[in-house]
Amino acid sequence: MLRPNVPTSRRILLSAVVAGAATLVPLTATAPAAGSTAPTRQQEYAAAAAEYGVPESVLLGVSYLQSRWDTNAGTPSTSGGFGPMHLTDAEYVLSLPGHHHDSGDEDPRGDDSRPSRAGTGTDSPAPPAASLQTLDAAAGLTGAAEESLRAEPAVNIRGGAALLASYQRSLAGPTGSDSNPAAWYGAVARYAGADSADAAAAFADQVYDTIRTGVSRRTDDGQQVALVARADITPERSWLDRLGLRRLERPDGLECPLDISCEWIPAPYQELGGGDYGNHDLSDRPARQKIEYILIHDTEATWATTLKLVQDPTYVSWHYSLRSVDGHIAQHVKAKDVGWHAGNWYVNAKSIGLEHEGFAAQGTWYTEAMYRTSAKLVRHLALRLGIPLDRQHIIGHDNVPGTVASTVRGMHWDPGPYWDWDHYFDLMKAPEVNTGTPATGMVRIAPDFATNKPAFTGCVRAGVPCTPRGSSSVILRSAPDHNAPLVNDIALRPDGTPNTMHISDHGARASTGQTYVIADRQGDWTAVWYLGQKAWFHNPADAPTAEWTVGMVATPKPGKATIPVYGRAYPEAAAYPPGVPYQPISPLQYTLSAGQRYAVGNVVPGEYYRATTFDGSSPGDWTVIRGENRYVQIQFGHRVMFVNLDDVQLLPSAVGAPA
């Protein structure tokens, strides 16, 4: 998560997408009741395609790549798009009141050996590009009111069809709902709003892949929509040339899959004077140090601002940025080098950071185009670097622990509870083991994203309910009762008071794909070990929010009443060479007590990458210091944490599981 230090007025502009939700009327449309004469969503697509002379498969394919046919409760996307067709209206969104909701004050570098790097970037919002203002054109083509295009799915679909038809006419292509879908490649590519031929083609290719394979799903407002497979269609890519878009250079060494749009926009490695430098560190990973994690962020800023900040040598850095409207990717730092993004130096030194254009709070959603390119990139990197495709290694910024007790409260919480982890891992083709039973002693969190709608507050202002929307988060309570208080996170609330439903208060929630050890079961409720206590969540058999699974667990060795928990896995003092200051092994506020068990994610060596000078001239710089300590990564709360291997037993989850 980026956090530019900008004046309040500009922060309002940056976060206006989030704020928009408070002033929009949520959609309440559902599938028509039995006997209703109202058209279905499928019929609305068919009618719009016939009215504007667009092949129905093209209209459905484009809409799927934008929104998966969802309405998203009438709220704007991360790039200001509305409705199933993602008609963009950035000017309207920027006009809405609001405030920036990111209260985290972490140092993105997260290294005690250097001064804090909070960032000094500024934002100067530019007028929206044409790609961020397509709703105006749709209004002119259809005669529909802008408010209707934003809020009414049928009108929004008509607007998208009208845009596609106008793009096809401008290319002098064949029109008509019965025309050959293959000849609409240029219009589909233009719909992406991309500023390069590569990005436009990547979007269009995904649309046509969807048309060829077909898809069927129930939307977030209960409508069943299907796109029948058309395996016979081969898109006529020559139509792309008529758009006259720039061609990206693809330099040697660009670390992206060949079938996605990607360019090199380097983050500067630059001396700043007085011994300071920015905005990342050189290394030689994985030869020097294994890369364990791929870290998912959202930018909390627009695409233009994101690129401006990562090119600022006084700011911080990450490896890749991803654009919402079309899924285009920019790489800034090579995988071998260390970005400053996680707020924890141990994690930075062992991770690759991806920033997605967006806002973590309610009011924004991520386009299917961005989910897909991100998933392709993560799979590509994971296979190349030997990183498992699971939630112990593909983690959110909100899963990164504080380095020491004093930094826990300031850690960021993106991409937040509205990132669809289940869909994301499906797109990655990640393996999943579901061989467990209640007797195997472990659960994997797995709510139905569309219907799981926790009652979060504070998306726009404190105490105000967020617009109900699908979420990956399961809420954890102190007893098996919907009215029981939420569990307490002692690091966030040392006085022992419960956590809250405020959008950024992640201390009483678990997320899709995370695994926990079963502590108890009562009726429709399951308890897991969480932050040193039993945490209960509703898990009825007819609508489960978790799956039984199996794995390894960590529990204190016999004779140890409690053991410390750490936010970084650093070596012992004796491992540091002369002249290199010791980085203390400092426990967090939490303890792990005898009888408690936590899911194991990894066993890692104690190590510290020393990098404190621009040229590596300080003693020990550009070396990895390793000692005898070994650590176990556990799912201790919402964030992963570490315990010393010498303090714990590692056991199969079924051993000692509650009956």
Determine the distance from the C-alpha atom of residue 621 to the mean position of all C-alpha atoms in its chain, rounded to a whole number: 33
Distance from C-alpha of 564 to C-alpha of 556, rounded to nearest angstrom: 10
With a cut of 50, list the residues of the chain below it in pLDDT.
Answer: 3-31, 98-102, 119-127, 362
User: Residue 435's closest CA among 444, 445, 427, 423?
Assistant: 444
Name the residue type at position 555.
Answer: T
Cβ neighbours of residue 387 under 8 Å, at least 6 residues apart? Answer: 291, 292, 293, 294, 381, 393, 394
pLDDT of residue 26: 37
User: Residue 95's closest CA among 23, 146, 155, 144?
Assistant: 23
3-state secondary structure of 238: helix
Measured in degrees and rounded to the nearest 5, phi and psi for residue 134 equal -75, -15
Whole-number CA gyration radius for the chain: 25
pLDDT of residue 346: 98
pLDDT in tens, 315-372: 999 999 999 999 999 999 999 999 999 999 999 999 999 999 987 664 578 999 999 9
Structure token pair of residue 599:
């899911």
3-state secondary structure of 604: strand
Distance from C-alpha of 1 to C-alpha of 353, rounded to nearest angstrom: 10
Q: Are 594 and 648 in contact (CB under 8 A)?
A: no
Q: Are 395 and 633 in contact (CB under 8 A)?
A: no
CATH of range 31-89+133-243; options 2.60.40, 1.10.530, 1.20.120, 1.10.10: 1.10.530
Structure token pair of residue 2:
């980026």
pLDDT in tens, 184-202: 999 999 999 999 999 999 9
3-state secondary structure of 285: coil
Helix (H) or strand (E) holding 198: helix 197-213
Question: What is residue 264's DSSP assignment?
Answer: E
pLDDT of residue 117: 63
Question: What is residue 623's DSSP assignment?
Answer: E
Question: What is residue 640's DSSP assignment?
Answer: E
Distance from C-alpha of 529 to C-alpha of 476, rounded to nearest angstrom: 11
pLDDT of residue 332: 98
Q: Are 328 and 196 in contact (CB under 8 A)?
A: yes
pLDDT of residue 130: 81
Structure token pair of residue 95:
């006009």
Distance from C-alpha of 254 to C-alpha of 89, rounded to nearest angstrom: 33
Counting every residue written for the chain, the total comes to: 659
- Class in CATH terms, 248-431: alpha beta
Instruction: Name residue, tokens 């926009």.
Output: 265
pLDDT of residue 143: 98
**Domain residues of the chain, as ranges?**
31-89+133-243, 248-431, 555-652
β pairing state of 473-475 and 442-445: unpaired
Q: What is the DSSP string of 500-554?
A: --BTT--TTEEETT-EEEEEEEETTEEEEEETTEEEEEE--TTS-SEEEE--EEE
Distance from C-alpha of 251 to C-alpha of 83, rounded to nearest angstrom: 37
pLDDT of residue 557: 98
Distances from the Cα of 495 to the Cαs of 457, 459, 534, 588, in angstroms?
Answer: 22, 25, 18, 16
User: Residue 310's closest CA among 2, 522, 659, 632?
Assistant: 2
Q: What is the DSSP string of 77-130?
A: -TTSEETTTTEE-HHHHHTS-----------SS--TTS----------PPPPPG
Structure token pair of residue 93:
């969104």
Query: Do 31-89+133-243 and 248-431 agree at the fold level?
Result: no
Q: Are 355 and 326 in contact (CB under 8 A)?
A: no
Q: Are 115 and 272 in contact (CB under 8 A)?
A: no
Report pTM. 0.93
Instruction: Name residue, tokens 């979420």.
Output: 471
Strand runs labelled E in 422-505:
442-445, 473-475
Distance from C-alpha of 339 to C-alpha of 320, rounded to nearest angstrom: 10
Name the residue type at position 537.
Answer: F
Q: What is the DSSP string of 325-363?
A: TT--EEE-S-TTSEES-SS-HHHHHTEEEEEESB-SSTT
